[in-house]
Structure formats: C-alpha cells, structure tokens
Amino acid sequence: MSTATFTVTGMTCGHCVSSVKEEVSEVPGVQDVQVELASGLLTVSAEGDVDAAAVKAAVAEAGYRVTA
C-alpha cells in the first residue's frame, strides 16, 4: 500500500471537499481519500502505487486543480 499527498486549489466549502473525495475515490486502486479544506491537502492511499496522473484528472473532473 502506498500513500501520496497533493495540494488542491479552489476548494472553498464542504461541498468542494465532497466533490474531490468522490471523484478521487473512483480512481482504480484507490482505497482511502482524505481531504483537508483549510490546507487543501489531499492524501490518497492505494493498493499499489498511486497513479498521480489519474488523481490529477479526477481532481480536474471535480472542477479543481492540483498545484505542483
């Protein structure tokens, strides 16, 4: 199991957090998603390696952006 942390910009409320969490949870292999509104931190745990490109695409699908 591996874990990766990302910073998401544009979230302003609990609904934003729920949207990001829902989209990222659908990425194949992802087992746990934690989103912290105040800091924008997104922590993803997966069975194997975390697919960063897929996570970024899921965040974009939710309407937000992962910063470098």
Both structure tokens of 57:
């695409």
- Would you state the pLDDT for residue 14? 97
32 Cβ partners below 8 Å, 6+ apart? 43, 44, 45
Class of domain 2-62: alpha beta
Q: What is the pLDDT of residue 43?
A: 98
Q: How many CB atoms lie within 10 A of CB 30?
A: 18
Listed by start position, the domains of the chain span 2-62
pTM of structure = 0.94
Helix orientation angle between 14-25 and 52-62, rounded to the nearest 10 degrees: 140
Per the CB < 8 A criterion, the answer to whether 51 and 2 are in contact is: no
Taking only the tens place, the pLDDT of each residue in 14-66 is 999 999 999 999 999 999 999 999 999 999 999 999 999 999 999 999 999 99
pLDDT value of position 19: 98
